[in-house]
Structure 1
Amino acid sequence: MNATLRLWPLAVGAALAVLPAARAAQDSVQTPSNSRTAGNTKPAETVPQTGARADALRENLKAVKLPPGFRIELYAIVPEARAMAVEPSTGVVFVGTRGDRVWQVSDGRKRRVADDVVQFASSVTFKDPNGVCFSPEGVLYVAEQNRVLAFPAAQVVGKGGPDVAAAVVVPQGKLVPTQLESANHGARYCRVGPDKKLYIALGQPWNVPPKSKLAELDKNGLAGIIRMDQNGKNREIYAHGVRNSVGLDFNPKDKSLWFTDNQVDGMGDDIPPGELNHAVKMGANYGFPWYGGGHVRTDEYRNDTPPAGVVFPAVEYAAHAADLGMSFYTGKMFPEKYRGGIFDAEHGSWNRTKPIGARIMFTAVKDDGTVGQTEVFAEGWLTPNGEYMGRPVDVQQLQDGSLLVSDDYAGAVYRISYSK
């Protein structure tokens, strides 16, 4: 790989103390001693935001149904848009993909529509950089298929330029064993928790893993969620028995972890259900592969005894709707009903006789941490004849309280706002 990166300047401050610059020399990330650009200097790709494509996306959005008072608009054209991270101070949005791009989406005029979309850190050769997340101090983490990088002040130094500061948090080939590296369930998702640790969801390569692989998966945190210090040290497994989570967030009221999980394929149209899980404690097991989703046992492990104390989902979603990114709503723009609840993006089924999903769900969360009603919030990307016009992936909140929705099928990010 030909990635050219420079050391952080000392002025970046204490927020970066957790990420020693010395580690930036590891892996394929080079650290030129003179802190100047070297090696790959190809210009960053930019994405036009006007024209026929933008017009078509806006036309498609006319079919999306929302509760009264809500409005959805095109925020940005972003190819293969997946997980999103909003920079805490500026609102610059970073968008991961399943390819080799991370996109930087800027709204400098604060008109709540993107001014420009530019390839971030064009000198870095990313591989499946689906997972993007920020620390409260403004450090951007990019969780690739098998590596984790950190970028301080990303919104300042990374836009359109090859000379970008970074550190290797987890070197290439060390996030998961290389023999377990796979495009199947290889999209990572990350969050920095209230404890300042970096949490990463690690899917496993199979629909249902063979029994001979269970010990290796569990030892390395696959089919689970791991956490570590922001410099990559003190790695530990936080959750076991998670088939393929591509969405997690922390309840701001009690700081507890919640996450989605995708269920086993090939068991029928209506089983097993998708999952929204509440992590009650570190080290708990959430049932996979003994359970394919909810309380439904898998054929492969039907006669095996599940681990003691399996934690079942707080919400069972529609089977095969593919619930991915989720976030707690902490804004004030939306009505009181939605505050403190969970918005969840359903990517849509791929192996169901009648497709389902391609919508945004909402689940109310009570003050005691239990869930209330789950309902459809936004739908219309799936036509009555089963054709996808878009496939939502992630939901994140802008500082003004509006909600962003990414769509990797249409290659876009949408903004949902509310006014009385």
Structure 2
Amino acid sequence: MAALMLAPGAGVPVDAAPAPRGETVAQDAARLERLRAILDRITLPDGFRIDVYALVPRARHLAVAPEGTHVFVGTRGDRVWVVTDQDKDQRADTVRQFAPAVDFVIPNGVCFAPDGVLYVVEQNRVLGFAGAGTIGDAGDPPATVIVQKGELIPPSEESRNHSARVCRVGPDDRLYISLGQPYNVPPRRKLALYDKTGIGGIIRLNRDGSGREVFTRGIRNSVGHDFHPETGELWFTDNQVDRMGDDIPPGEINRQTAPGQHFGFPWYGGGAVRTHEYAADTVPEDVVMPAVETIAHAADLGMSFYTGKMFPERYRGGIFSAQHGSWNRTTPVGARVMFTAIAEDGSAETVPFAEGWLDESGSYLGRPVDVAQLPDGSLLVSDDRAGALYRIWYEGD
């Protein structure tokens, strides 16, 4: 397939050849039934139900279109998928490759602006697709380059490690993008570059790519963030340092109350646990400690505030988040969906909400990555191990 050349900022392809149709994903009945058998073991609070919404290969982060019919799914490969529920029966009718003419590289991060522009954040590029949420299955809108390839991070810092970006459009109508740094703990020679470019942080920029600034500093690899629906504050998960032991350092859910705050990495490896590499160094002033410490190495990834009305009152305004599951632990943990309740003073507590994808032998039957809310208030959960999206809804006690 010939690569599609994109004109920076133009929103139209230079190449005028017809766009290819791309791959579709069969919703295989036998495979759906095997997944439903796994879901029979998932425990949920009373009144909640779970089912398979769609088969989506390597499904990672989710963006629900404003009109609610289409869900866009990023991956760590070279595909973005668009999942369509045209008849509104809460199961996908079609799953197809989005924008097949575009050569995506780790298009993990997908997010919508209220006006229907879809942003796709790759390893080292940002694209925008105006009107993506209303395209149906007839074709895809042209891509606009928001950040040129090689300008999101310096090409010298490209790595398979921690390259799964995520994005959100904030209440200020600016685009927020997390930039994981590529090391377990970065060497000192990299710190000045990372501080300047926002690697190991979250940047924000205008939706046309201008006005870039570093908004968040001192994080290791955040793969989930969202804005509090009332205060507008940014909350985000962070994956902490490996190879320090089974039970340290803790994972984190963080609350940011002002631009430029520093959250402690690499001086802290998670919570108040100092890294070996920076143990003798002076910690920067005014480091913000996590709002919640989570179990070590569970890999807290995607998160969303719940703003729907389907779930009981106690869930409204709280955070649903996905724990992908540990690799750096003697006894595996995670592979579940968590819920974080937030008190009026900003204090928070996280508890399991949906679990059972980790079996008694320590094997993963699924690995949740992200959560997103559908227009009816139900919850979608992506699973990159099973290659699926699940829907969780509430039926009452």
TM-score range, shorter-chain basis? over 0.9
Structure 1 spans left out of the alignment, 5+ residues: 7-20
- Find out whether 1:194 has 2:177 as its counterpart: no
Aligned equivalents of 2:181, 2:277: Cα separation in 1: 16
Aligned mate of 2:364, from 377, 385, 388: 388
**Contact 1:290–1:302 at 8 Å: present in 2 too?**
yes
Aligned to 1:260: 237
Aligned equivalents of 2:225, 2:27: Cα separation in 1: 30
Q: CA deviation at 1:59?
A: 1.1
- Report the residue type matching 2:293 in the other structure: E
**Contact 2:131–2:141 at 8 Å: present in 1 too?**
no
Q: CA deviation at 1:168?
A: 0.2
Q: CA deviation at 1:367?
A: 3.1
Aligned to 1:273: 250
Aligned to 1:135: 113
**Contact 1:287–1:310 at 8 Å: present in 2 too?**
yes
Q: CA deviation at 1:42?
A: 3.7
Aligned to 2:62: 84
Question: Secondary structure of 1:357's partner?
Answer: coil
**Contact 2:8–2:145 at 8 Å: present in 1 too?**
no
Q: CA deviation at 1:148?
A: 0.2
Aligned equivalents of 1:248, 1:184: Cα separation in 2: 19
Aligned to 2:50: 72
Aligned to 1:144: 122
- Report the residue type matching 2:54 in the other structure: A
Question: Secondary structure of 2:190's partner?
Answer: helix
Aligned to 2:4: 4
**Contact 2:298–2:325 at 8 Å: present in 1 too?**
yes
**Contact 2:337–2:355 at 8 Å: present in 1 too?**
yes
Aligned to 1:58: 36
Structure 1 length as normaliser, TM-score? Answer: 0.91
**Contact 2:368–2:383 at 8 Å: present in 1 too?**
yes
Q: CA deviation at 1:30?
A: 3.6
**Contact 1:5–1:37 at 8 Å: present in 2 too?**
no
Aligned to 1:47: 25
The residue correspondences of 1:101-112 to structure 2 (distance < 5 A) are 101-112=79-90
Structure 2 length as normaliser, TM-score? Answer: 0.97
Aligned to 2:394: 418
* Residues 49-70 of structure 1: per-residue CA shift (max 9 Å, x gap): 1322111111111111000000
Q: CA deviation at 1:365?
A: 1.1
The residue correspondences of 1:253-402 to structure 2 (distance < 5 A) are 253-371=230-348, 373-402=349-378
Question: Secondary structure of 1:277's partner?
Answer: strand
Aligned equivalents of 2:184, 2:254: Cα separation in 1: 19
Q: 1:243 to 1:160 in 2, by over 3 A?
A: farther
Aligned mate of 1:122, from 100, 105, 110: 100
Aligned equivalents of 2:278, 2:46: Cα separation in 1: 46
Structure 2 spans left out of the alignment, 5+ residues: none
- Report the residue type matching 1:388 in the other structure: Y
Tell which deviates more after alignment, 84-93 or 377-386.
84-93
- Report the residue type matching 1:69 in the other structure: G
Q: 1:225 to 1:22 in 2, by over 3 A?
A: closer
Question: Secondary structure of 2:288's partner?
Answer: coil
Q: 1:91 to 1:43 in 2, by over 3 A?
A: closer
**Contact 1:131–1:144 at 8 Å: present in 2 too?**
yes
Aligned equivalents of 1:308, 1:37: Cα separation in 2: 55
Aligned to 1:31: 14
Q: CA deviation at 1:4?
A: 3.4
**Contact 1:43–1:160 at 8 Å: present in 2 too?**
no
Aligned to 1:216: 193
* Residues 362-419 of structure 1: per-residue CA shift (max 9 Å, x gap): 1101234332x32110000000110000000000000000000000010000000001
Q: CA deviation at 1:300?
A: 0.3
Tell which deviates more after alignment, 173-182 or 45-54.
45-54
Q: 1:242 to 1:159 in 2, by over 3 A?
A: farther
**Contact 1:5–1:164 at 8 Å: present in 2 too?**
no
- Report the residue type matching 1:140 in the other structure: L
- Find out whether 1:239 has 2:219 as its counterpart: no
Q: CA deviation at 1:160?
A: 6.6
Aligned mate of 2:74, from 96, 105, 113: 96
- Report the residue type matching 2:262 in the other structure: N
**Contact 1:277–1:315 at 8 Å: present in 2 too?**
yes
Q: CA deviation at 1:158?
A: 7.6
Q: 1:160 to 1:356 in 2, by over 3 A?
A: farther
Identity value in percent: 61
Aligned equivalents of 1:388, 1:122: Cα separation in 2: 31
Aligned to 1:13: none
**Contact 1:238–1:284 at 8 Å: present in 2 too?**
yes
* Residues 268-322 of structure 1: per-residue CA shift (max 9 Å, x gap): 0000000000012100110000000000000000000111000000000000000
Aligned-pair Cα RMSD in Å = 1.6
* Residues 176-232 of structure 1: per-residue CA shift (max 9 Å, x gap): 000001110000000000000000000001000011111111111000000000000
- Find out whether 1:171 has 2:148 as its counterpart: yes
Tell which deviates more after alignment, 51-60 or 292-301.
51-60
Q: CA deviation at 1:165?
A: 1.4
